[in-house]
Structure 1
């Protein structure tokens, strides 16, 4: 069973802490085994969210034995992070743990030296401070989360949930992550990018026209849609559509469409025995060659390797 240690210090805000507990702390029977969540901290009776008392039964030394360590937001970015927490997070990483920060938890990772030379993010309101305080960190204020292998960081609030779901997707596959998202009534995937999964913002819109268009496209991924088809459906010019799309999704209509096709291919690889040619047709990519090219470009592995990985029983535990 993959062990997850959640580090809770006195004054930890509630939102990101609750998101991690909802994702990793409740076994809904989606994968066997699920995660084993442990709450750790320097205080036996930490206050979280400014009003709730959280009983912490495990000390910070437990972080060193976890497969994944999650550091949620800290109380105040103007105060130095808890020294014991910084040391424990550093030791866990040196021992081979995957270390994750949600929102301003990035300041703990930075203080531990884990972000030096890495691309990282935090809540947009604090990215300038993180960059000024830790000049060796390549702070990116424009993304929701960054997966750099064994070190992952997210922006604030809802982006913390996005990163938690991304971790489930990485460990258990798209089908499990999407089912969990539906259970939690949150968007199933704010998609990652290239090999390090640098994500674009959510492909959803509060503008009714674009929201309706995205739903229309998602129901027709098996069809050979073009940007002109999307513009016609939205009753816009292609240029106007591109402007709206970039404002809402952070990317172009064509890139968004290709990403959705790859996501659909992920689900079909996990949940069906369909061949690659059949999946290429069902996702609108036409041929196995086209599917393999885009799949490998976005996810870094060929479809066949992805299917073998996510037909397995769960995330690997840390060795040693």
Structure 2
């Protein structure tokens, strides 16, 4: 008896990011059984069939309307240009809401990048853990306090509703779903065919740029300036408070008001950032970087680095600089 293929339906909207649509078709389309039979059927639909504008200089033609969702096993919602427009966030267009209402109970639903705003607006993420692109996480939390937002991960899977962090994280998400459905062997074969790792180390924390408050713009500025100039030295709280002409208690309180962190937490963050820069820009050994960043030992650096970014210093360097013999890592 011929086994029915798992049906994946991609719901696209005007302003679609074409790469995200391609990811779903390419990865699920490569998944085959031991006998070479396709394991998935992948189709594309849109609330209003016809020509769909993208965020590029070309359009795509989508013949299927929202009725395609009625027999979906998995629904994937990619990002669209409107997700990046503040006036559009927090609302869902009537046509999209009606389309999602056609999704059968029990079907798996996933989003890529800021497609998570659509799932959230439709109420599909309420009470669940989710992620989105790190640049949008703060706004996502503000709009949807009932959703547990994890800004550090590449994707989440909470009881059949999945979200991914950025465009490329759509690859990680699709491989995860294939692995869940058919095991590591099938997912690994798809990864090899796509020339991507079956599982990436760490989460999106390693990609986040953390802007530093300009020292001169806050009362604790003199202490911050001193700390940034002397990160490689032992830094004592009492000395920093003196630099800001405050008592230790007042300095702690003001620092928390400005940054949401204790002074020592902020210093660790700055040391991690210093280590990141040195790993990206130099060939210095880890122990030397640990000393220059103020961690003292390579062991201490590895501990703090992994706690902050979810990867080891070596893995970070391999990702952002490349190592001898392998060339730059894309």
TM-score normalised by the chain length of structure 2: 0.59
RMSD: 3.2
Q: What SS does the corresponding residue of 2:186 show, helix, strand or coil?
A: helix
- Correspondence for 1:126 among 128, 136, 141: 136
Matches within 5 A, 1:59-138: 59-77=65-83, 78=86, 79=88, 80-92=91-103, 95-138=105-148
Which consecutive residues of structure 1, in runs of 5 or more, have no partner in the other structure?
192-198, 214-235, 254-320
* Deviation readout 1:182-237 (Å, 9 max, x if unpaired): 2111121136xxxxxxx74599x9959xx9x9xxxxxxxxxxxxxxxxxxxxxx74
Output the CA distance in 1 between the equivalents of 2:193 and 2:101: 34
Q: Tell me what 1:240 maps to.
A: 301
Please state how far the C-alpha of 1:76 moved relative to its aligned partner: 1.7
CA distance in 2: counterparts of 1:139 and 1:241, whole angstroms: 26
Equivalence for 2:261: none
**1:25 counterpart SS class:** helix
Distance 1:124 1:85 in 2: 24
1:181 counterpart residue number: 191
* Cα contact 2:29–2:38 (8 A) shared by 1: no
Q: Partners in 2 of 1:176 and 1:202 — Cα distance? A: 28
What secondary structure does 2:109 align onto?
strand
In 2, the alpha carbon distance for the partners of 1:20 and 1:40 equals 13
Match of 1:91, SS? coil
SS at match of 1:122: coil
Task: State the distance in 2 between where 1:113 and 1:248 align.
Answer: 30
- 1:169 matched residue in structure 2: 179
Q: Which residue of 1 aligns with 2:15?
A: 11
Contact 1:13 1:75 in 2 (8 A): yes
Corresponding residue for residue 259 of structure 2? none
Which of 147-156 and 10-19 deviates more?
Answer: 10-19
Contact 1:71–1:105 (Cα < 8 Å) also in 2: yes
> 1:249: which partner in 2?
310
Deviation for aligned residue 1:28: 5.8
1:95: Cα distance to partner?
Answer: 2.2
TM-score (norm 1): 0.61
Q: Extract structure 1 runs of 4+ deviating beyond 3 A.
A: 25-33, 199-203, 205-208, 243-253
Gaps of 5+ in 2: 207-275, 286-296, 315-330
Q: Distance in 2 between matches of 1:120 and 1:110?
A: 9
**Aligned residues of 1:81 and 1:108 also touching (Cα < 8 A):** yes
CA distance in 1, matches of 2:146, 2:98: 19
What displacement does 1:81 show? Answer: 3.3
8 Å Cα contact 1:200/1:251 also seen in 2: no
1:137 to partner: Cα distance: 1.5
